[in-house]
Chains A and B, each alone.
Chain A
């Protein structure tokens, strides 16, 4: 469902289609108890960026009716507003879809992918990536705090200098990821990972009524959107 909706969000850029997809994603996220409010709060911090995107789209895109014009230069147009709204909706769909994925236990994701005949090495990598994303965010936040506590006043810096400070977050993040990957590879091999060609599992996932309903609803939504817009 997540794959279908986020693919449609990338394929179509009309605000009305994206609004419909956003509504479907939000409803599904609420149904699965995903942290929709948290995801939306995080989006709120990016509102300034989206507003800037709207202005940039208006200035550099021809067409539409000028809404704000200074000295013959269009600062805001109906096309720019539409494109800005499309970007916001697209990011909203992707963020909320990702929050739906986070409601699944990483163990279930590995199991689900394995039952789809995907090699378990690959399934395991996907599960590890999902498991470590929050940790990466936490590490980046800590490093940013440490950077500021050395006397870096980000609020007083020009954009270029600020970006060069943010660039510093990459070194510890990459070093941390590499070190963790090395430690984890030793740890999983010590526990017999890939010791045998086939892997058995005590756990077995089964499709329930809710899963069939969701697959049916997703297929119906995709077909409806395709018929509507193509």
Chain B
């Protein structure tokens, strides 16, 4: 379970981005965070995924304070989809990007291949496997980033604007995938402007307004 206890976050320039946020992501639960641009949604997502450490209060992942966890350790439990998927791609082919997390764990090659094929198929990337990730369209990058995060089978997923750049068909594919993933016990937080999509999947909907989190 990821739990935030009365978390504040202030950027180095003095801007208060999050004030007194308390929230939890439980296994199998989908939490949606709605809010206007600049309301602090992404900052909250980064706090819950340990990318940012709170100015005060604390965030715990299964009882351990994120201040005491390295990003590598957090990454074994939490998958994070950036608002701009291009920022989380770093290899020279789609296939390499998808299998990267398994390659560094030293898993057997046949198992890596099997899981990579499955993810490429699930995210409709089979025809693009040899493509350079940075040449893909925004929607393709989004699918690739999701595949690369989900192959690691994280216990929690934090998705920042996952529907941006997806057409209606891809959105419904993502929807089915999120439901299937939620059914396997993965806890999720969806940060979105797409209120219909977020409300359609979430068990709990919360709203951020000028850094303050409240139940919608």
Binding site for B on A (CB under 8 A): 139, 142-143, 145-156, 168-169, 171-172, 175-176, 179
A–B Cβ pairs within 8 angstroms, 10 of them: A149-B75, A149-B80, A150-B101, A152-B72, A154-B70, A156-B72, A171-B90, A172-B90, A172-B134, A176-B86
CB-contact partner of A148 in B71, B91, B134, B152, under 8 A:
B71
Question: With a CB–CB cut-off of 8 A, which chain A residues contact B78?
Answer: 149
Q: 0/1 per residue, B126-154, Cβ < 8 Å to A?
A: 00000010100000000000001100100
Distance between Cα atoms of A142 and B78 in the complex (Å): 16
Please tell me if the beta carbons of A145 and B51 are within 8 angstroms of each other in the complex: yes
Distance between Cα atoms of A139 and B79 in the complex (Å): 19
- Inter-chain contact count A-B, CB under 8 Å? 73
Instruction: Tell yes or no: B123 within 8 A of A by CB.
Output: no
* Known contacts A145-B51, A146-B82, A151-B105; A172 and B76 CB within 8 A of each other: no
CB-contact partner of A150 in B87, B104, B134, under 8 A:
B104
Question: With a CB–CB cut-off of 8 A, which chain A residues contact B75?
Answer: 148-152
* Known contacts A143-B87, A149-B75, A149-B78; A175 and B100 CB within 8 A of each other: no
Distance between Cα atoms of A139 and B92 in the complex (Å): 17
CB-contact partner of B88 in A146, A155, A156, A179, under 8 A:
A146
Known: A153-B70, A168-B91, A171-B92. 12 other contacts (CB 8 A): A139-B87, A142-B88, A145-B51, A146-B82, A148-B71, A150-B149, A153-B72, A155-B72, A156-B72, A169-B90, A172-B86, A172-B87
* Known contacts A172-B134, A175-B134; A152 and B90 CB within 8 A of each other: no
Question: With a CB–CB cut-off of 8 A, which chain B residues contact A169?
Answer: 90
Please tell me if the beta carbons of A151 and B88 are within 8 angstroms of each other in the complex: no
B42-79: which have CB < 8 Å to A? 49, 51, 70-76, 78-79
Question: With a CB–CB cut-off of 8 A, which chain A residues contact B49?
Answer: 149
Instruction: Tell yes or no: B89 within 8 A of A by CB.
Output: yes
Binding site for A on B (CB under 8 A): 49, 51, 70-76, 78-80, 82, 86-92, 100-101, 104-105, 132, 134, 148-149, 152
Please tell me if the beta carbons of B101 and A151 are within 8 angstroms of each other in the complex: yes
Distance between Cα atoms of A122 and B149 in the complex (Å): 42
Distance between Cα atoms of A115 and B50 in the complex (Å): 49
Distance between Cα atoms of A154 and B105 in the complex (Å): 13
**Least CB distance, A67 to chain B, in whole angstroms:** 36
Task: Choose among A168, A171, A176 the residue with the greatest number of B CB atoms under 10 Å from its CB.
Answer: A171
**Least CB distance, B151 to chain A, in whole angstroms:** 9
Question: With a CB–CB cut-off of 8 A, which chain A residues contact B105?
Answer: 151
Please tell me if the beta carbons of B90 and A151 are within 8 angstroms of each other in the complex: no
Please tell me if the beta carbons of B70 and A150 are within 8 angstroms of each other in the complex: no
Question: With a CB–CB cut-off of 8 A, which chain A residues contact B92?
Answer: 171
Distance between Cα atoms of A169 and B90 in the complex (Å): 6
CB-contact partner of B70 in A146, A148, A175, A176, under 8 A:
A148
**Least CB distance, A160 to chain B, in whole angstroms:** 14
Please tell me if the beta carbons of A151 and B87 are within 8 angstroms of each other in the complex: no
Please tell me if the beta carbons of B91 and A171 are within 8 angstroms of each other in the complex: yes
Distance between Cα atoms of A156 and B73 in the complex (Å): 10
Distance between Cα atoms of A171 and B148 in the complex (Å): 17
Distance between Cα atoms of A37 and B45 in the complex (Å): 29
Question: With a CB–CB cut-off of 8 A, which chain B residues contact A155?
Answer: 70, 72
**Least CB distance, B210 to chain A, in whole angstroms:** 23
Distance between Cα atoms of A150 and B91 in the complex (Å): 13
**Least CB distance, B74 to chain A, in whole angstroms:** 7
CB-contact partner of A151 in B51, B76, B86, B89, under 8 A:
B76
Chain B residue at minimum C-beta to C-beta distance from A147: B90
Distance between Cα atoms of A169 and B100 in the complex (Å): 14
